[in-house]
Every structure is written in structure tokens, then in C-alpha cells.
Chains A and B, each alone.
Chain A
Amino acid sequence: MSAVAARYDVVVIGAGHNGLVCAAQLARAGRRTLVLEARARVGGAAVTREFAPGFRASTGAHLLYGLPASLDAELGLAGHGLRSAAERLPTTSLLPDGTIADVDPGPAAIEGAARAAFDRRIARFAGYLAELHARVPPRLGTPDWSDRFELLRAGFGLRRLGRRDMRELLRIGAMNAYDLLDETFESPPLKGALAFDAVLGTNFGPRSPGSVFTWLHRLAGLGAGGGRGLWCPQGGVGALSAALESAARAAGATVRTGAPVARILVEADRATGVELDDGERIEAAVVVSGADPKTTLLRLLGARHLDAGFVRTVRHLRNTGLAAKLHLALDRAPQIVGVDPARLRGRLVIAPSMDYVERAFDHSKYGEWSTAPALEITLPSLADPSLAPGGAHVLSATVQYAPYTVAGGWELERPRLMEALLDALERHAPGLRRSVVAAQLLVPPDIEREYGIAGGHWHHLELALDQFHLLRPTPGARGHATPVPGLYLCGAGCHPGGGVTGLAGRNAAQFILRQSE
């Protein structure tokens, strides 16, 4: 119990990238805004950290693809130190026979003509989705004219695709990536790499219904990114968070780190502020949480302020992650068979066929990891030497699939998975094992603990048609509002989900400003 501190218009819980974007936008609109971050540094899962002495890696997201160019411009992030280290990174598929496949589009693309036609059409669909991403979803069945307008707008956007494309989008929208790619392409490596992108960071395999949607979701982000493609900032993904923090501060927001929120204060059925772990109370007219919905609603707010049916719905939201992160400190640059230096700076995937990815997924359904994992590998220190000591390098890989709960428990299984991953890498990079100085493997429970994301899912809540748009975070949710007046959500658990887009934060800020008009 300590004295009541200064009163703010808005207190934002969590300085993840969405929290920072939301705070920056609210501060720009003149709100006295305070951001509270539990950890010592801002960024949440968009962070670059030292994982071994002298070696730094982006230990959450390691590539950017979905940051809208418009947001970058709005906040003037270049002016806050955001520089790109590498853009339009190529994707190279590593094949079991030691060869590689260039799976990028372009004049030299595999199955060039079919690819170009397919990409054109898919880009239109992704463009439609990107429009949905940038707006707060409406509610169904309300007399509110703005809800009706948004609904009409969404319907009109769909209609504008034209009859043929609209029909095609409706056909493939809930389809699985495996069947769609199989009816479009021949090349197993091409299909494998595209299917891998479709399921990256989700609880899906290529054959899971809805995996076309998750792919479109990713492509929508890429399309809004202003032509940067896959990219990485100078200094790692954490540099984005640093720029966002700087933008928020410049707009007038206060950012406090090492200030974990213990609970959200409620008086007379209205959020009135927060209480920190050390008992400090901070009053605010509006509380915005960038934490995931389960953490926000069930832990920080508490079931007693919510209706029982709603709590049951929140508890049943699917939120366990299925992707792990591997970080290796290497004493020299890795040699990967068949990959030239330019491609080595890009993205390497081990997903030689759709069946390979599906088999890796199969194990996860039964609480196992696969000895033949699908991987997304980057070597960020090649383009950004600041990440490792001279001559040494960093390997950062996303590992699919690592279930939240494994038979045997992660204490036992983590070293075994590490060994399997080193074996898989060694097949393509002979000698890599000997060059490993230090290694870190973050499985979903580690991600949960490191970043405070219940379930350790990239998107906070599973990204799936039943947890998207009108249905995210819960069916009938009123935009970013919660049932408790004055409490809002701004994290990836809201529409449009995660992927370091900042859109959830930006939409939340717009929603809150509109509410207080």
C-alpha cells in the first residue's frame, strides 16, 4: 500500500510493439499516456537479446514482413533510428539430396507461368484481407450504424473482387493449403516451401482446413509492407521496438520498464487504473492491455469482474504455441551446401515437400516433436555484424513443430530436440556442430515465461477462422473493448492477430479515441 501516484488518461500494460504503437498514437492525440513494462526492456517478443556472451539474436520474431509502410510513415520511425539491415530477403529451400531450390517468385521462378498467375490472384485476396486487418471489426446484429457501415464495407470489398475472384476466394478461404497447392503446382520443393509459409507459427499442418487463410493472413502483411518483403532492421528486430519507444516518448508518452502490473483496479464496474507488484497504484481513465486476453482478463482483471459464460469462453480460447526458437552462437560463418553467399543472407527453409511438413506436424498432435522438423533459418549476423563478435556468427531458426506439452516433459525433451535440430542442420551444413559455441532453444513454455504470453503463441491466440475478425478475441466482442468499461485490449489477441504488424495497437488507439469522442 503506497501513495496514489500521478493520474494518467491512459495506462498501457506491456511495452510490446502493439502496446508501444497504441501508446504512441494515443499520446499523439494528446492523451497523457503511461506504458508499464514488466521486463527490464521494451519490445515484448519483438526484441533482440544477448543469448550468449557477445552474441545477440532476435529471440522472438526474427524477421519482419507485416509492418505497414503507412504506420512506419505515421510514426516517422526512420527519424527514431529504424534502419533496415537487409530487405527483400530471398527464400532458399534446402533439399535432402544436398541441392537447393529457389522458391521465390520472379522471372526465373519454378513453374513461372503458373506461379505468376497464381500469385496475382492470391495477392488480390491478400489485399482484401489487408483492408480488413486495418479496421476494427464490426459487431453483428446491433442497431449501431457504424457496425452496419463496417459490415457493408467488408461485404463491398469482397464484391469488388469481381464475381470470379470472389467465388474463388470463398472456395479456397477455408480450404487447406495442401490441396490448393496440389491443384496448382507440380514441384514438391515449391509446394513444400509455400505450404510451410502457410502454417508458420500456427497449430496447423498443410492439410489442416483453414491453412489457406493463415497463409493469406501472412501475405496480407507482406503486401502492406510497402515492398520491403521479408526484412530485418539494423540491430535486429529489437531495433524496431526501440524506435517505437522513441516515437512514443517523442509523442509525450511515459515508458516505465521493470514495472510489472499485478492487477487491474476496478471501481463501480469501471477500470480505474492498475496496481503494480510492489503495491504502487496508478490511476487512469482508460486501461489498455497489450497482454494476451487470457492473462489480461483472467489474471490481471479476474473472473469476479466478468460474467461466468464470458469467462468460460475466454478460458476455451485456443492459445498454445507450436513453434520453438533456436539460437546458435557460431565461431565462424557456416557453410551450407549449395547456397551462395547472397542467398545465405536470406531465409533458408527446410521444408522439402508438403508431406515432409505434414509429417512433422503429425507428431505434434500427439505431444511429440519430430526428428524431421521443418525449419526457417536466418543468419542475421551476415548482414548485421553488430550481432556477434568479429568473425563469429548467429543462427536463428524457427522450429516447427514443438507442442506446448510434450510426453515426458520439456526438461527431459528439450536437450533431445536440440540434438535432433543440430543433426538436421548438420546434414546441410557439415561442420556446423563443431562451430557451435552456445545454443538456446525456446519451446512454447519458455516463450510463455520469457515474454509473458500465456500459452507461448506468436499470435497470443491461435490464428484461425473461428478466432478471427468478428470472432477475435471472443465472438461478439465489441472491437477492442472488454465487458468492463474503461478496459481495452490492444495486443495480438485482438483482430488482426500477431506478426509484428502493429495493427492491433493502432486499431485499438483509433477505437479508444472514437469511444471518447
Chain B
Amino acid sequence: MIETASSGTAAPHYRQPLLGTPFHARSRALAQVDQYVAWSGYSTVDVYTTVEQEYFAIRNAATVYDITPMTKYRIAGRDAVAYLDRLVTRDVARLRTGRLGYCLWCNDDGELVDDGTLFRLGESEFRLCAAMRQIDWLEASAIGFDVSIEEVTERIAALSLQGPVSCAILKAAGLGEVATLPPFAIGRYDLDGIELTISRSGFTGDLGYEIWMDPSAAEAVWDRLFDVGRSRGLRAIGSRALDLARIEAGYLSPWIDFVPAEHAIRVGRARSPLELGLERFVDFDKGHFTGRRALLEERRRGPRSCLVGLDVEGNKPARAALLYADARCRREIGAVTSAVWSPTCKRNIAIARVDAPFSALGTSLWAEIYLNRELVWERRITRARVVERTFFAPERRRATPPADF
């Protein structure tokens, strides 16, 4: 029996190194193939039924994904805005209360420490959601600022409700006002006495919401969503299906598409926002932020490499493929970080790091793909083309109110 973070029973922590989330009892009941994965100290579902079934629910109906293990920090205090403006690369002063934004933060050398979403909950109260724990960096950044930083991961349960019918399900659940919520907005709602915070955000590139609640309300909210959602095709999904969706959306995953700077051991392995193709999230004009001087210098010099989108010929995913400038594989120029056959786009897509001279849209490259066909390895040298990294971006993700499906 897995402990949940909030259950508080007295089993010694070393007997149960992974916690269950507040949704554990519910997800357990649906996890037919018993595939779990450890995520920030929690046991979470990797696959409930099959990856394909879950993936198609994301794109064609609606899905819930338990994001409780996402690390959450409450950042508040007189200098909260100044602190965050020095921490992240976007202009926090311009982020309005009740909005959230994707943001990056770098070390002194302009290398990406992590990315995440920043919620402005009040004039000087924020929540920072990130993939990894990093209280050390956040506190080092707080020297000289009047700000309090608190990890609240265990105090907030969260579900990501994504897919074209996600809004319809919320309306059916009695949360009709959610329909007016524009992308990147945050609202507070009441569900039969349960206080919910709902943000229009997600990691699928589609219409979707994230629902934040007290852990004690977790099961009631889950039940309500499934009561009204089951007939609309609502499914619970695991991390594997989500990974397909996020590649289609062109979103980056730490440890897969970049190594967080504070964890990189080898020289030159960390990546800057410019190398990751995230320059549009770097505001050089807002004043100083950590890494700004290094990034300006890098911009002047030009980045060494770029993370680009690839359209690969054929239908064999170019997983971990090395990339070459020529079909005879003499000049190596990069490697694929994420690759998948996109069922929705009907394209063989990839995210890849390539040397800067080969990063222009339309550049033709060669991928060395290895296929294991019943224990026999085959090597395919396949043509690939540099394309926009956002492969899937339907209009419905922006429409307010969203259409009913």
C-alpha cells in the first residue's frame, strides 16, 4: 500500500521511498497495466491502458493527468516582483495579477537552470511551478531581497484536464464560468463548497486547464470530473502519452531536450535559452536578470547550436539519431533529443540539437536511424528538414469561450 502525502499515517519514510499523490486511490483503480514511474518523490502512472488509447483521448476527447508532483513554490513579500524579475528572463512586472506565464531562469553563465510557469496570484504573491526541486537556487537568488520562498508542493493537489472537450466537461461539472477564462488566465471557483483555482494552461499545446485544490478535495474533484466526463470520453493518462503530445506541441522536457545547468557536470553540456530557441522569452530590455550579461555576449557572438524542429522522411521515429550534413555521414552536426511519429500531424517529427550553421528553416540534413526489427538491427540514413518546432497548434487552444464539442 502506497502512502499518500496527506494521509499522515506513521509508516517510516524509509520503508516507502515514493509517496502516492492525493489521487492515488483513484488512479490505482484505473491503472490496468500497473506501469508506474517515479516523479519527484511520488509514484505516478506511466501508462493506464495503452499509450495509443491515452494519446488519442488527449487529441480527440479529454484527459486528466495528475500533476501534483510538479514542484510548487510560493514566492511572496515586498520585493517579490523585483526578486522574480532578477530571477527569470521575462518581464514579471508586466505579468498581471490573475495571469500566468511560461518562464526561464538561468545561471550566471546564461545557461538554463530550469523552465516553468509563474502564476501571479496577487500584487506580490506568486507561485512558481517547475519540473525540479531547486530551493537552493531560489534562496541564493533571494540574497538582498525582502521575499519569502516556501515549497508548497505537498499542500496543493493538481490535475491537468486537457483536450478539445475539457471545457465542456468543466461546464457539465458545474463550472460554467470557466468558459470565459482566456489562455494563461487564472480563476477561482467554487465546486459545491470546494475551493478550486483553475488556470487555462497545460503541456499538450491544445485546449486545456489545470485545476489546483487542497489535497483533501482531491478525490471529490476527480470523481466529479469522471461522473460527467466518462460519457464524453474522459480518460486518465500517464506520462508516456503526455510525452507524445508535448513533442507535437514543441515543448521541451528537462533531461531529455536539455540538461538543467546546475546538474550538468561536463563542460559545455548546459544550454542557454538562445541555443534552445527560446530567445522570445528573454527580455533584454527589462533591466538586469541573472545571466543577462552572458546572454548578451552570446547573442553578440552567436549561439553555438540550436534546438530545432525536424520533419523526417518516412515513418520511423528518429529516436536518439545522430545528424549529418551529408548522406555519407562524414560530417556530424547534431543529434535528435525527442522523436515520434505524430499520429495527429501524420508526420515523422523530431526535436534536435544542430550546430548553428545548420539551424535555418528548410536546411536539409541526414538522420542516422537505427531500427530493431525482431532483434535484427537495421540502419537507415534518412533525409530530414529543419522546420518550425511547433508541430501542432490548433486554433481551438486559443478560442474564448471554447467551442462545445
User: Within 8 Å of chain A (Cβ to Cβ): is B160?
Assistant: no
- Pick from B141, B287, B294: contact of A308, CB under 8 Å: B141
Interface residues of A in 295-314 (CB under 8 A from B): 298, 302-312
Residues of A within 8 A of B293 (CB): 269, 307, 483
Bin chain B's interface residue count.
10 to 19
- Nearest Cβ on chain B to A363's Cβ, whole angstroms: 31
A15 CB → nearest B CB, Å: 26
Closest to A299 in B: B144
B171 at the interface (CB under 8 A from A): no
Q: How far is the CB of B292 from chain A (nearest CB, A)?
A: 8
**Contact A304-B288, Cβ < 8 Å, known A309-B107, A309-B108, A310-B108:** yes
A-contact bits for B290-304, CB 8 A (1 contact / 0 none): 111110000000000
Task: Give bound CA distance, A311 to B288, whole Å.
Answer: 13
Complex contact A304–B108 (CB within 8 A): no
User: Is B140 within 8 A of A308, CB to CB?
Assistant: yes
- A307 and B140: CB pair below 8 A? no
The residue in chain A whose Cβ has the minimal distance to the Cβ of B136 is A312
CB distance from B103 to the nearest CB of A (A): 15
Nearest residue (CB) in B for A483 is B293
Q: Kindly provide the distance from the CB of B90 to the nearest chain A CB, expressed in whole angstroms.
A: 16
A269 to B143, CA, bound (A): 20
Q: What is the CA–CA distance of A303 and B144 in the complex, to the nearest angstrom?
A: 5
User: Which of the residues B82, B108, B287 comes within 8 Å of A307, measured between beta carbons?
Assistant: B108
Is A315 close to B, CB under 8 A? yes
Asked if residues A269 and B288 are in contact (CB atoms below 8 Å), the reply is yes
Given A304-B82, A304-B288, A483-B293, are A309 and B145 neighbors across the interface (CB < 8 Å)?
Answer: no
Collect the chain B residues with CB atoms within 8 Å of residue A304's CB.
Answer: 82, 86, 144-145, 287-288
Residues of A close to B18: CB separation below 8 A: none
A307 CB contacts on chain B under 8 angstroms: 107-108, 290-294
Q: Are A305 and B137 in contact (CB under 8 A)?
A: no
CA distance A306 to B291 in the complex (A): 9
Which residues in A have their C-beta under 8 angstroms from that of B291? 307
Contact of B87 among A302, A305, A308, A315 (CB under 8 A): A308
Task: Identify A303's interface contact among B107, B137, B145, B294, CB under 8 A.
Answer: B145
B288→A308 contact, CB < 8 A: no
Give complex CA distance A483, B288 in Å.
11
- Note all chain B residues with C-beta closer than 8 A to A298: 143-144
Give Cα distance in the complex from A133 to B144, angstroms: 33
B290 touches A308 (CB 8 A): yes
What is the CA–CA distance of A398 and B17 in the complex, to the nearest angstrom? 57
**Bound CA span A305–B289, Å:** 8
How many whole Å from B40's CB to the nearest CB in chain A? Answer: 23
Instruction: List, in ascending order, chain A residues with CB within 8 A of B140's CB.
Output: 308-309, 311-312
Are B143 and A312 interface neighbours, CB within 8 A?
yes
Contact with A along B57-96 (1 / 0, CB 8 A): 0000000000000000000000000100011000000000
Alpha-carbon distance A310/B288, docked complex (angstroms): 13
Q: How far is the CA of A95 from the CA of B316 in the complex (A)?
A: 88
Q: For the complex, what is the distance from the CA of A298 to the CA of B143, rounded to whole Å?
A: 9
CA distance A391 to B288 in the complex (A): 61
A311 touches B144 (CB 8 A): yes
CA distance A269 to B137 in the complex (A): 23
| Shortest distance between the CB of B287 and any CB in chain A (Å) | 8
CB distance from A489 to the nearest CB of B (A): 17
The docked-state distance in angstroms from the alpha carbon of A315 to that of B142 is: 12
CB distance from B261 to the nearest CB of A (A): 10
Q: Which residue of A lies closest to B289 (CB)?
A: A307
Q: In the docked arrangement, what's the CA distance between A309 and B288, Å?
A: 14
Residue among A307, A310, A483 with the most chain B CB within 10 A?
A: A307
Smallest beta-carbon distance B135→chain A, Å = 13
Q: How far is the CB of B299 from chain A (nearest CB, A)?
A: 14
B143 x A311 contact (CB < 8 A):
yes
Q: How far is the CA of A312 from the CA of B288 in the complex (A)?
A: 16
Nearest A residue to B82 by beta-carbon distance?
A304
CB nearest neighbor in B for A312: B140
* Closest residue on chain A to residue B107 by CB atoms: A309
Contacts of B86 in A (CB 8 A): 303-304, 308
Which residues of A are interface residues toward B (Cβ below 8 A)? Answer: 269, 298, 302-312, 315, 483
6 A-B pairs with least C-beta separation: A303-B144, A308-B141, A307-B108, A309-B108, A312-B140, A307-B290
Given contacts A269-B293, A307-B294, A308-B86, 16 further A-B contacts (CB under 8 A): A269-B292, A298-B143, A298-B144, A303-B86, A304-B82, A304-B145, A305-B288, A306-B288, A307-B107, A307-B291, A308-B107, A308-B108, A308-B143, A311-B140, A311-B144, A483-B293
By a beta-carbon cutoff of 8 Å, the part of chain B in contact with chain A is: 82, 86-87, 107-108, 137, 140-141, 143-145, 287-288, 290-294
Pull 18 A–B residue pairs with CB atoms less than 8 Å apart, ordered by A: A269-B293, A298-B143, A298-B144, A302-B144, A304-B86, A304-B287, A307-B107, A307-B108, A307-B290, A307-B291, A307-B293, A308-B87, A308-B140, A308-B141, A308-B290, A310-B108, A311-B141, A311-B143
